Amino acid sequence: MMISLSGCVTLEWVTRNIGNVSTSELEAACHPKLGIQIERDLYFTPSYPMSVYAEAARMFHQVTDDQSQLAIAQLSMINRMK
C-alpha cells in the first residue's frame, strides 16, 4: 500500500521546501556517500503550520523545531502579507 506524505524537505543541494513523497520513495532513498537510509520522526508533533517550518528552513538553512526560529519565521510571513 503506497501512502503519500507531506512535509518539509531539506537537502544540501536543494532549496528547503514543502513537498510530497510516497513511503516507497522514502524507503528506497539512501544517502549517496554514507549509504544510510532516511528515517521518519514518528514522534514529531507540529506546533506551527508546515508553511512556517518551510520558511524557517529557508531562513536558517536547516529544518528546525526551535521555537524562537519558528516564531521569527512566522512573523516574517505575516509581515510579508501586510
pLDDT in tens, 37-67: 777 778 888 999 988 988 998 899 888 899 9
Confidence of residue 2 (pLDDT cuts 50, 70, 90): low
- 54, 8 in Cβ contact below 8 A? yes
Residue ranges with strand state E in 4-82:
4-11, 14-22
In the numeric block, which cell numbers belong to residue 12? 544540501
Higher pLDDT, 25 or 1: 25
- 70, 57 in Cβ contact below 8 A? no
Domain coverage including residue 41 = 4-81
Q: What is the pLDDT of residue 11?
A: 58
Residue 53: Cβ within 10 Å count:
25
Q: How far is CA 22 from CA 34, 51, 63, in A?
A: 22, 20, 20
Give the pTM.
0.65
Total domains in the chain come to: 1
